[in-house]
Structure 1
Amino acid sequence: MGAITLTKLYDSEQLKHDIYKLSEHYDFIKVHTIGYSVLGEPLLELKIGEGDKRVHWNGAFHANEWITTPLLLKVVEEYAEGIIHGRQLEKELFSSTRLSVVPMVNPDGVNLFMHGSEIAKAYKDLVNKANHNHVNFTSWKANIRGVDLNNQFPAHWEVEKQRKPQDPNFRDYPGEKPLSEPESKAIYDLTQKSSFHRVLAFHSQGEVIYWGYQNKEPSQAKSIVGAFQAVSGYEPVHTIDSYAGYKDWFIQDYKREGYTVEVGKGINPLPWSTFNDHLKKVKPICFKSMEM
């Protein structure tokens, strides 16, 4: 029986419940609050391992891509089980790697997706307008202020500002300035403080892995993403006409490996019934990111 609860209503309360169950069950999983969302939800980071290699995973930058949150937590749980049972690979990874995981970057947006505009409090009118007065929020990607958190980073942000929506919207609005939102700023600050060697941002959908940015990525990124492809079947894509994303900024500023992993194929939100199929591909990518 696993410590976490797999449910298609995976909101921030479920996340908090599961994270604290994991940290109680496995005393080597440390939990930190790296900041708070607009509505005051804690942005939680899990840390595992004692090594020198610093690897970071995050999920649910986008509200309707929330399935990435339970996927990452399930991988963490299975990793922890391997450590407890003394499996060789997991023991070696624990010794060599310091893993950081922020499973839900955008808790307000996920809660809006799950529960509707009643949870938006002072932002209820804003979200209804930004959602074009649709009854449900199945297309919503932004945070509660209608800002796309993965369009917020100082990596040619001004390009996105010019060509994307100019007002709060259910997707793509980059905000009034880079890092205007507490959620993107928290991830930015964590990354600066932690000096990660490799970061993986999990989104959906497409079964592709974006791995470059303006040819500033290190030379080994091509072979690493090839290893990810070998274990998952996800197609490497070097670059696209997109800026101001988390992995774009990370590659630009640190000249280290950053990957955007697009889980699954279809239309967001991905059906909950496909969870186990995605787990079979996400878990080996995650393990490989610590191993190599």
Structure 2
Amino acid sequence: MLQYIVRKGDTVRRIAAAHGLTSGHVIQGNPWAADQPYLFPGQVLFLPSVQRRRHIAQEGERMKDVAALYGVSLEALEQLNPGISPGGFCAPGKTLVIPASERAAVVTLRGEYGPSELAADIGLLINKYPFISASTIGFSVLGKPLHLLRIGSGRRRLHVNAALHANEWLTSPCLLAFLEQYAEAYEKGRKWNGHSPEGWFNNWTVWAVPMANPDGVELVQEGAGPWHPYRRELAEWNGGRGSFRHWKANIRGVDLGDQFPAFWEEEQSRRGMSGPSPQDYGGPSPLSEPEAAALASLCEKAPADIAVSLHSQGQEIYWNYRGYEPPESRELAERLALAGGYRAVALTESDAGFKDWFIMKFRKPGFTVELGLGRNPLPLEDFEDLTLETGQILAAILSQ
């Protein structure tokens, strides 16, 4: 067994991914970890040694078939199996040692996806695709950058944000992964699921804020240990619970989904929350939180033709707001819902959200998209499906 000392930011999933293990392997060797909401820096884990994958060659199977099956290169397969003929057939019954799968995409999940993973992937993406530009629109309460990505050269603007609610963090890699797929297809002159990225690029500019609440995301994933500057306050606001998996708010206990100046007072009265909380507290005033204020400022400086805020879960698309929405909103929402396999829903008795403010402020189509089904945070296993659904919905906008 390998002895591993936990560091800040480590989670069971992240440690497992870094060592080629599953979360189950880590828990099996450290059963107490299943009863802890978070790991603590300095804790010792015992990790089993990793056994290489093996494959028994089948009748008529070629080496390139095996390489494709496991997502590895012929060269890597040959290195671990000296003497094989890379271009030929495998001897039936021969045991082949399979190397680790190669990482084709930049945006992948190697455990929870937090601010560090986002920053690293943005760096890789802008290096790989120079036509993607990156900047920041401000900083969170704890000083984390609020990243902005732009792709396209078109006159029309599409604003998309994700992870406004902390425990809905899976929306971040879904958005970023779609942008990567878009960029790759555009660069190679290929279609994306029947759509033309070249047309997207020429007609639209996408302004994407992939993680609007980085402090909250990190809290959900890593907890509030002794190092955390808000440790005492968070424990009180969380009712003494050790886990923050249910947390939606920012690090000051303000729900960013109730922060925008669109009948804010009515929403505050309806929610009935008078102070910091895991959710539903709209803050002392509209746009009091730097994360919400940065989003609003971005939209005012660069008004969008359409705005989308990615949330989870429910497989629903909300499109209206108190009659301020333009006439085309309903039809467009139905098209987006059809593209993603979702339902278009006219929402009532809900105010102060980003979509609400955007519609009321600009009289343009705005949508809240509730990705997936289940309980937040949604399982990592849903990532591939949700990325496709995100792309199908956004593609329906970009292709019009």
Q: Aligned equivalents of 2:260 and 2:395: distance in 1?
A: 27
**8 A contact 1:111–1:119 mirrored in 2:** no
Further displaced range: 88-97 or 117-126: 117-126
1:73 counterpart residue number:
176
2:143 counterpart residue number:
40
Could you tell me how far 1:138 is from its partner in structure 2?
Answer: 0.7
SS of corresponding position for 1:203: strand
Does structure 1 residue 7 correspond to structure 2 residue 110?
yes
Could you tell me how far 1:289 is from its partner in structure 2?
Answer: 1.7
SS of corresponding position for 2:344: strand
1:223 counterpart residue number:
331
Instruction: Within 5 Å, give how 1:54-69 maps onto structure 2.
Output: 54-69=157-172
1:28 counterpart residue number:
131
Does structure 1 residue 135 correspond to structure 2 residue 242?
yes
**8 A contact 1:120–1:144 mirrored in 2:** no
> CA 1:142/1:119 → structure 2, altered by over 3 Å: closer, same or farther?
farther
SS of corresponding position for 1:224: helix
Does structure 1 residue 260 correspond to structure 2 residue 363?
no
2:355 counterpart residue number:
247
**8 A contact 2:359–2:366 mirrored in 1:** yes
Q: Aligned equivalents of 1:286 and 1:118: distance in 2?
A: 38
Does structure 1 residue 213 correspond to structure 2 residue 321?
yes
Q: Which has the higher contact order (CA 8 A, sep 6+)?
A: 1
SS of corresponding position for 1:126: helix
Q: Aligned equivalents of 1:13 and 1:161: distance in 2?
A: 33
1:160 counterpart residue number:
267
Could you tell me how far 1:230 is from its partner in structure 2?
Answer: 1.5
Q: Aligned equivalents of 1:266 and 1:172: distance in 2?
A: 20
SS of corresponding position for 1:259: strand
SS of corresponding position for 2:243: coil
SS of corresponding position for 1:122: coil
Could you tell me how far 1:267 is from its partner in structure 2?
Answer: 1.1
Does structure 1 residue 107 correspond to structure 2 residue 210?
no
**8 A contact 2:169–2:217 mirrored in 1:** yes
2:281 counterpart residue number:
173
Deviation by residue 1:186-239 (Cα, 9 ceiling, x = unmatched): 000001001100000000000000000001101111111111122111100112
Further displaced range: 188-197 or 117-126: 117-126
Could you tell me how far 1:118 is from its partner in structure 2?
Answer: 2.4
Amino acid across the alignment from 2:230: Y
1:277 counterpart residue number:
385
Q: Aligned equivalents of 1:103 and 1:213: distance in 2?
A: 24
- Structure 2 gap ranges (5+): 1-103
2:25 counterpart residue number:
none
Q: Aligned equivalents of 2:374 and 2:336: distance in 1?
A: 21
- The count of aligned residue pairs is 292
Q: Aligned equivalents of 1:173 and 1:250: distance in 2?
A: 20
Does structure 1 residue 150 correspond to structure 2 residue 260?
no
Q: Aligned equivalents of 2:121 and 2:296: distance in 1?
A: 25
**8 A contact 1:4–1:21 mirrored in 2:** no
Amino acid across the alignment from 2:121: D
SS of corresponding position for 2:249: coil
Q: Aligned equivalents of 2:219 and 2:208: distance in 1?
A: 22
**8 A contact 1:112–1:120 mirrored in 2:** no
Could you tell me how far 1:14 is from its partner in structure 2?
Answer: 0.5
**8 A contact 2:109–2:380 mirrored in 1:** no
- Structure 1 gap ranges (5+): none
Could you tell me how far 1:157 is from its partner in structure 2?
Answer: 0.3
SS of corresponding position for 2:229: helix
SS of corresponding position for 2:327: coil
- Which has more radius of gyration? 2
2:33 counterpart residue number:
none
Could you tell me how far 1:120 is from its partner in structure 2?
Answer: 7.1
Could you tell me how far 1:17 is from its partner in structure 2?
Answer: 0.3
SS of corresponding position for 1:117: coil
RMSD across aligned positions (CA):
1.2
**8 A contact 1:54–1:100 mirrored in 2:** yes
Amino acid across the alignment from 1:133: G
